[in-house]
Chains A and B, each alone.
Chain A
Amino acid sequence: DTGVSQDPRHKITKRGQNVTFRCDPISEHNRLYWYRQTLGQGPEFLTYFQNEAQLEKSRLLSDRFSAERPKGSFSTLEIQRTEQGDSAMYLCASSQLAPRGDEQFFGPGTRLTVL
């Protein structure tokens, strides 16, 4: 499977715990995005990497959230001290650098439930 993959697909945790999600983009894609999607809403932008550099973070990304892409390949998104409001689907997407490609390819997402 050469598409974007995410792990785990589902995560249930208790409030206050830390969680970490992983995203493996399409191998030749330089750009990697994290989005959050809640029920009945479109994906909301969280952060963006170009290769290993994190170039933009949304104000939605509080200081409890941190993302890395250490070697410019896979990325991790960590949420510390989870809150019930963090419950959502976390989507990862990747694309090539413009003008080679603007389409973002999405992974299947990680559904987080905070109890």
Chain B
Amino acid sequence: NAGVTQTPKFRVLKTGQSMTLLCAQDMNHEYMYWYRQDPGMGLRLIHYSVGEGTTAKGEVPDGYNVSRLKKQNFLLGLESAAPSQTSVYFCASSAGTGVNEQYFGPGTRLTVT
């Protein structure tokens, strides 16, 4: 039981490039989330999904897109990376049935130059 996994662990992009971050969970959780963590800012919610085929915007959605084609996977896309998107990205999941205990992945460190 791997819990929540994220790929890649590290990535360096040039401004304007695109990439997709993959999150996978093996706990059969309904809800999945993408957060970004910046120094002194805590974690901020980017997008989330309450089930396969559904997504919604969080606190800081601009510049990102997401997809949840399979229940176990949640993809975060950057279409045209900007230096302001340099951050550590965390995926999380929760059962979603009235319990909000969220399980986090190990994170992806993204640098945009």
Are A and B subunits of one complex?
A: no
